[in-house]
Amino acid sequence: MTDHALYPLQFDPIFQYRLWGGRRLGPWMNRDLPGQDPIGEAWLLSDRDDHPSKVASGPLAGMTLPQLMAWARTSILGPLAARVDRFPLLLKYLDVELMLSVQVHPADGLTALIPRGETGKTEAWVVIDADPGARIYAGLQPGATQENLASLTAETVNDRLSAFSPKVGQAVHIGAGTVHSLGDGVVVFEVQQNSDVTYRLYDWNHVEKTTGKPRPLQVEEALACVNFNQGAITPTDPQVLQTTPVLRERLLESAHFSVTRLSGAEPFQLGAENEPRIVVCLLGGGGIVHQDVDYPLSRGGVTLLPASVGSCRFTPKGAAELLEIAMPVTE
């Protein structure tokens, strides 16, 4: 594949049933949700064998992200292609109407707890909507031990885990090894390592309707992942990088990704030369201009800017709020 064959790529969302989900993602994304069941997740960019993202428009429409990676990994990832075989991040929206299980993900070094072909799992959330009673649990209270985490109940969870009431716009970094949960009416954007390794400590007495039984827990494995030196996790403090023509705020940065919020009504630049970037629209909309072609982006939409595409100009239609996700291209 030649570099000029790639362009700003949009993908069709993949909606996922979850017993803790709701139905908010449909109207928010201006999409029809399947069926009548609760939809907890919309997978936005996925290089996973079970649910691969498909290009929504343009000459490459219908191709999956795994196919694109096999065909043009270097053009997509730039220098990062030398270190990875598949796209290293997984992006989602979560609509958590009930409570997500209390869970933990392993760090990359815990190889005995990571199935073949997977990695550890660090993730982050940006809050899109939150009911007054919504909660985020992240990190441990003083006195949390293996023994009392192994027997969590609805009555003891607040004594063991740190919690706060989420507000729209907050960003939360959930490093591998962090005990966490969220729900009771919260919608978030999630970026994570491309991994599906999750171990449950407690599941709020949820019953899976397809089986009539509680979902299984993995308490022993979860406890082996927990970072017991970690205290309370709170929302990050945005770092202002630029004020004109766009307000550019770094929300968080980790070894695996960074998230920057861009807010403005005047045209501004996106992306970077020879680096892949992902653009997420949370408010308003506009067009990404590449080689004199306008690629529309509206609320809920996600666009991958391959490394070969480089920097693009975004022209808002009114006030717009975007997230730009970058990945370290060198170690």
Instruction: Say if residue 321 is in the same domain as residue 220.
Output: no
In a domain, 230, yes or no: no
Per-residue pLDDT of the chain (331 residues; tens, 9 = 90+): 555 589 999 999 999 999 999 999 999 999 999 999 999 999 999 999 999 999 999 999 999 999 999 999 999 999 999 999 999 999 999 999 999 999 999 999 999 999 999 999 999 999 999 999 999 999 999 999 999 999 999 999 999 999 999 999 999 999 999 999 999 999 999 999 999 999 999 999 999 988 999 999 999 999 999 999 999 999 999 999 999 999 999 999 999 999 999 999 999 999 999 999 999 999 999 999 999 999 999 999 999 999 999 999 999 999 999 999 999 877 6
Q: How many domains are contained in the chain? A: 2
Instruction: Say if residue 94 is in the same domain as residue 28.
Output: yes
Instruction: Say if residue 172 is in the same domain as residue 265.
Output: no
Report the distance separating Cα 86 and Cα 84, nearest Å: 6
In a domain, 231, yes or no: no
In a domain, 101, yes or no: yes
> pTM for the complete prediction?
0.96
Instruction: Say if residue 100 is in the same domain as residue 244.
Output: no
Report the distance separating Cα 265 and Cα 287, nearest Å: 12
Residues 6+ apart with CB under 8 A from 91: 43, 44, 45, 46, 189, 190, 191, 192, 278, 280, 302, 325
Picking from 158, 193, 225, the residue at the C-terminal end of a domain is: 225
Report the distance separating Cα 256 and Cα 18, nearest Å: 27
Tokens matching residue 98? 């009930």
Task: Say what the pLDDT of residue 210 is.
Answer: 85
Helix/strand/coil for 45: strand
Picking from 195, 225, 255, the residue at the C-terminal end of a domain is: 225
Report the distance separating Cα 116 and Cα 176, nearest Å: 18
In a domain, 163, yes or no: yes
Instruction: Say if residue 166 is in the same domain as residue 47.
Output: yes
Amino acid identity for residue 277 in this structure: R
Instruction: Say if residue 145 is in the same domain as residue 182.
Output: yes
| 287 close to 296: Cβ distance less than 8 angstroms | yes
Instruction: Say if residue 131 is in the same domain as residue 279.
Output: no
In a domain, 232, yes or no: no
Task: Say what the pLDDT of residue 216 is.
Answer: 96
CATH of the domain at 318: 2.60.120.10
DSSP 179-215: -EEEESSEEEEEEEES----EEEE-TT--BTTTTBPP
The domain containing residue 108 runs over which residues?
3-225
In a domain, 51, yes or no: yes
In a domain, 234, yes or no: no
Instruction: Say if residue 199 is in the same domain as residue 310.
Output: no
Spell out a b/e string for 154-170, using b for 16 or more CB atoms within 10 Å of the CB, else e: eeebeebbbbbebeebb
In a domain, 252, yes or no: yes
Instruction: Say if residue 104 is in the same domain as residue 28.
Output: yes
Report the distance separating Cα 63 and Cα 55, nearest Å: 6
DSSP state of 3: G
Picking from 180, 201, 225, the residue at the C-terminal end of a domain is: 225
Instruction: Say if residue 71 is in the same domain as residue 219.
Output: yes
Instruction: Say if residue 68 is in the same domain as residue 212.
Output: yes
- Beta strands 247-253 and 239-242, pairing class: antiparallel
Instruction: Say if residue 257 is in the same domain as residue 215.
Output: no
- From residue 15, give the alpha-carbon distance in Å to each of 32, 60, 62, 95: 10, 22, 17, 11
Tokens matching residue 245? 């023509």
Task: Give alpha helix (H) positions in the chain.
Answer: 25-29, 65-77, 146-149, 157-160, 219-225
